[in-house]
Structure 1
């Protein structure tokens, strides 16, 4: 790994780990960090609309209490004094949880939800809600409550989603950590489009007590950050026993994995790994621009890696499996709202409910059986390979006015979520997956490299990702570059853009 990097002049640009170390050493005041993050939001958010709901009074009060705790000399939590951006799918006391739905515009929780409460108990300081697509449906962070969130690298482009506001908040320096969740790539897609890190853990590593389809773990929460190590630090708190999640293994009050290990990643010799590489998993409609950048990246990374071979698991039926299981999930959760208040339901959610209603019991049974076969094929594949590498998302960022790509390189997509196929390929199998920044494509936009590990081998995957991240940092053509903050500060308000608050 690389050595220490110079401390940024602005505390808002510090990594979570470095900020936490400086706070513990009394070289950084939590109040100073909080004020820097607040200033960054107030300077830039008019241009991107990433954090439309804020509670800076809570952040300031929490920062003062964190500073007092440091002065008192007692033990400090793993996330002590670190501002936290919260995805608007999770409850944060005092701010609406809208889910991006007009029907829930005034839904005001009285307490933090379990994920936010756990992070706050470890010292994190919740500061505001980040924008999402309606009910996290699709990967373009637009809704009729808060409007559109733009990509900070080009405000005419989408930031993807559904954790789009969280990814933008991280890229812009609003907070060092942000919550997110992932069904079809909702942690990984926006991370790739915005040049940050999004990690989808194995089912149960982060308990999902509120997941409606408890025995169908397509969706999971996970950490988002600006580095792999920061994501691991956050995961060390998020990973905990959770008896209400049937995939969270708990024996005598302990999980099957050591949460603390995620914050202390082991070194990995990249030259000893067996790495499978694929541009499209054999089925994903991947844009030529993305394929070109993937080849460029793998060409530059190749000398640092061990055996690399172009191959992929057998992903037959992936589109059908994901389409059916996603459809019935939306049917079960959102049908009542569509029937009761169709004017409060956008096109993506409506289409998924209607799709769910089109499936027969036989369709569902076949999809579940096909998923089991799919899973077993992936386990056989990973008997021969340590890590699988692919692009994180099928397209370079496109205009946010386009609700979803109807075509990729001239070929029509099958559904509004078909362009997320590189991500849901791993969701179906239940394997941990991470997107890390890896240069820019030919259009000048951030490119995300997706790394996939063995099921429940989350710590090793994070360790490999950290090693590759360090290699990337030393390659000038691939090293991440943040957004132009001066450009964003001078940009006109995105709220004035045509289509900001509509799906037209």
Structure 2
């Protein structure tokens, strides 16, 4: 019999609405799963069982009274530990905030609560989200659900693992250089980077920077759409939020369910590397093999890429500028309180001047315009989500790929940050396992503002590929995880040693 925690969010919400499943039953199932497995993967690092139980009881009372129920009514949602939850410990993965308890929810969390969700706790993240390996010196490392000694990627690694193992049906994430898409790919779930401003973020320090975004994570595209529909909108505190004065432009109903799409009408570009990413040979081969299974579904599937010349250089500068804005004062006062990834970004930023920033922004604009020309001839782009198969989390970042040194600690994320730089929406869809038995992710990139198109294409592909074990969403061995030793006993679990 299916455990309630293994139900999809859409299905669970329908059962709650029909009074065939209670919010309390669903929550207790999720808590039992967390109790049984989290020792092996360390995903749910802050818990509020009592508060969640009280919220679930209130949700059931509302259903019994016949009250209007929100779209997430009674559904447990994991919140990434970069996002403020009022009254709940929120550390940002930093020892500076080890005991920090915000007074109030940030806007994203308020929207999720207003939609009826239950918040059982916080999911692990690297310090300040810096790096695509979920490790920090507060809670330690998060292990991959398919092999806890391998990386779950990051920075939304805790959310991805909690979803893959059934600890929650929905979770939040954020994305700068792939922080939603990379862990989704490594853990076999769905992660969506929306167009900047679609999901408002009043906490972004550089308000006009389109690199960092908030977004949803789930086990399926329809589930992801359900969460997305509750967090889109407008907020005057976010300069990028789409608005016309006095009128709301972004509406939840535009995203609540994937729109129908005829795959046979689409002109698809297929590239393993955008012409520059250091994609490992085995990932290239896996990508070619998997896309050969379904490229016939499209009107045209061409091996081609937009011209991304200059992407590495522009992203490196603009990313460093963001870290300077956020961490320069802390770096100057006590650099020892910052982890190696944050320090590396700040120190890189200090090497740049105004002329470097100007060149980076000019390059970003030129690349963006080349992409717009490319999308006059193509509807979507398909790439691998990430350049490598999961490696041990003891490797802070891949120093080489196929024997070639990487440019930076985040160079291996180039498939993701190529998209971040131009602001297009992108989704990572699970596509079976690779030759190592680890999840493989397909990145689907849409046109400018084409969030609904990306979701529609992803949902259609998900349905088409679900029946083939080579392309269906993989599920971790839960019994093996339950019997695994505590991850905290692993060498170098805590910190960056």
| Secondary structure of residue in 1 paired with 2:120 | strand
Residue 266 of structure 2 is matched in structure 1 by: 273
Counterpart Cα distance in 2 of 1:475 and 1:255: 42
Counterpart Cα distance in 1 of 2:468 and 2:302: 22
Counterpart Cα distance in 1 of 2:188 and 2:267: 26
Q: Which deviates the most, 151-160 or 259-268? A: 259-268
Residue 410 of structure 1 is matched in structure 2 by: 403
Residue 347 of structure 2 is matched in structure 1 by: 354
Say whether residues 1:92 and 2:72 are aligned partners: no
Equivalent residues of 2:141, 2:493 under 8 A apart: yes
Selected match of 2:240 from 238, 241, 247: 247
Per-residue deviation at 1:93? 2.0
Say whether residues 1:197 and 2:200 are aligned partners: no
Say whether residues 1:339 and 2:320 are aligned partners: no
Per-residue deviation at 1:253? 4.5
Per-residue deviation at 1:252? 4.5
Residue 162 of structure 1 is matched in structure 2 by: 155
Counterpart Cα distance in 1 of 2:256 and 2:247: 17
Per-residue deviation at 1:256? 2.8
| Secondary structure of residue in 1 paired with 2:390 | coil
Equivalent residues of 1:141, 1:162 under 8 A apart: yes
Counterpart Cα distance in 2 of 1:173 and 1:372: 41
User: Please, what TM-score do these two structures have when normalized by structure 2?
Assistant: 0.99
Equivalent residues of 2:308, 2:418 under 8 A apart: yes
Cα offsets for 1:15-50 (capped at 9, x unmatched): 110000000001111100000000011110000000
Counterpart Cα distance in 2 of 1:220 and 1:264: 21
Per-residue deviation at 1:259? 2.0
Say whether residues 1:420 and 2:430 are aligned partners: no
Residue 11 of structure 1 is matched in structure 2 by: 4
Residue 205 of structure 2 is matched in structure 1 by: 212
Residue 462 of structure 1 is matched in structure 2 by: 455
Per-residue deviation at 1:242? 1.2
Say whether residues 1:33 and 2:26 are aligned partners: yes
Q: Which deviates the most, 93-102 or 438-447? A: 93-102
Per-residue deviation at 1:251? 2.2
Say whether residues 1:64 and 2:57 are aligned partners: yes
Selected match of 1:147 from 123, 140, 145: 140
Residue 386 of structure 2 is matched in structure 1 by: 393
Which structure 1 residue ranges, 5 or more long, are not aligned?
1-7
Cα offsets for 1:145-196 (capped at 9, x unmatched): 0000000100110000000000000001011110100000000000000000
Cα offsets for 1:206-250 (capped at 9, x unmatched): 011111011111000000000111111111111011112122122
Equivalent residues of 2:234, 2:250 under 8 A apart: no
Against the structure 1 CA distance between its residues 254 and 473, is the aligned structure 2 distance closer, same or farther, given a 3 Å change threshold? farther
Say whether residues 1:48 and 2:41 are aligned partners: yes
Say whether residues 1:447 and 2:437 are aligned partners: no
Counterpart Cα distance in 1 of 2:399 and 2:428: 24
Equivalent residues of 2:160, 2:217 under 8 A apart: yes
Counterpart Cα distance in 1 of 2:195 and 2:406: 28
Q: Which deviates the most, 171-180 or 333-342? A: 333-342
| Secondary structure of residue in 2 paired with 1:58 | helix
Per-residue deviation at 1:264? 2.5
Residue 218 of structure 2 is matched in structure 1 by: 225
Equivalent residues of 2:268, 2:379 under 8 A apart: yes
| Secondary structure of residue in 2 paired with 1:148 | coil
Where in structure 1 do 4 or more consecutive aligned residues deviate above 3 Å? 252-255
Selected match of 1:126 from 115, 119, 123: 119
Per-residue deviation at 1:466? 0.2
Counterpart Cα distance in 2 of 1:264 and 1:65: 27
Counterpart Cα distance in 2 of 1:498 and 1:283: 35
Map 1:172-183 → 2, pairs under 5 A: 172-183=165-176
Counterpart Cα distance in 2 of 1:253 and 1:294: 46
